[in-house]
Amino acid sequence: MGYYYGYYMDPTYLLVLIGAVLCIFAQMRVSSAYKKYARIRSRSGLTGAEAAQRILQLSGIHDVRIEHVRGELTDHYDPAHKVLRLSDSVYGSASLAAVGVAAHECGHAVQHHKGYAPLKIRTALVPAANIGSRAGIPLIFLGVLLGMNQLFIQIGIWVFALAVLFQLVTLPVEFNASGRALAMLGDYGMLERDETNGCRSVLNAAALTYVAAAASAILQLLRLVLLFGGSDRRRDG
């Protein structure tokens, strides 16, 4: 019972707090950058939807639909249905922030079109990652409740590790999409150099959220391993 209590009071909880602080800091950065450049209109006057349509056409992609979805920064590319969804603050806005976000999602569409390997891996990991994020911790708790049952605990740790792996694979996918976005905006003459720098600030801040999420997941996994990975040895001792 003391060990179960220790799960909540153990000093390793500091790892979770560090991860939370990183995520909060990253969200503050992206919110600040987005708000700053959402107030600056692109000289081309293209909205996020128009910019996305032009990028897709110039990239030779003609089978991807662009849809408007509700919410703020809910933008995403759906490779299963070949749909690029842009949020309220991006779809009809001609700001540098909106154009940058739209171009980033187009970067994912280009990745899909060209068979970018890390995107394929991330897509394949989605089912396993969903299971890991939802079932990993409950399985570990079940193992604890069953008297430190190592079968459930180890399965829980390994399942949770799949969610961590997904976060790690996401990093090169997102970085590459941002790189493609900035290159296309410049190559296609949609933004001038100083405007591209503004988009870069927004996309770099957004990338930081993925780094923070990955770091937080790794720290959580490390905590679980420290607490439960050697349970047999502690119990035997």
pLDDT in tens, 196-211: 999 999 999 999 999 9
Q: Are 107 and 188 in contact (CB under 8 A)?
A: no
> Is a pLDDT exceeding 60 seen at residue 165?
yes
- Cα(101)–Cα(107) distance, rounded to whole angstroms? 10
Domain-embedded: residue 207: yes
The residue from 67, 72, 105, 195 that is catalytic is 105
Residue 60 lies in a domain: no
Is residue 71 in some structural domain?
no
Task: Report whether 226 contacts 12 (CB < 8 A).
Answer: yes
> Looking at the domain assignment, is residue 195 inside a domain?
yes
Q: Is residue 63 part of a domain?
A: no
Question: Of 98-102, 106-110, 139-143, 184-188, which gets the smallest average pLDDT?
Answer: 139-143
State the pLDDT at residue 145. 85
Range of the domain at 210: 2-41+96-236
Q: Which of the four pLDDT bands, split at 50, 70 and 90, describes residue 217?
A: very high
Model confidence pTM above 0.95 = no
Total domains, the chain: 1
pLDDT at 11: 82
pLDDT class of 188 with cuts at 50, 70, 90 = very high
User: What's the rounded Cα separation, in Å, for the pair 139 and 144?
Assistant: 9
H or E segment to which residue 96 belongs: helix 96-114
Tens of pLDDT, residues 144-159: 888 888 888 899 999 9
Tell me whether residue 119 is in a domain. yes
SS3 68: strand
The pLDDT assigned to 233 comes to 46
- In the predicted structure, residue 13 carries a pLDDT above the cut 90: no
Q: Which residue has the higher pLDDT, 181 or 237?
A: 181
- Is 12 part of a structural domain of the chain? yes
Residue 52 lies in a domain: no
- The two tokens of residue 199 are 């988009």
- Nearest CA to 105 out of 87, 84, 121 is that of 84
- Say if residue 230's pLDDT is above 70: no
Q: Could you confirm whether 67 is annotated as catalytic? A: no
Give φ, ψ of 179 to 5 degrees. -60, -45
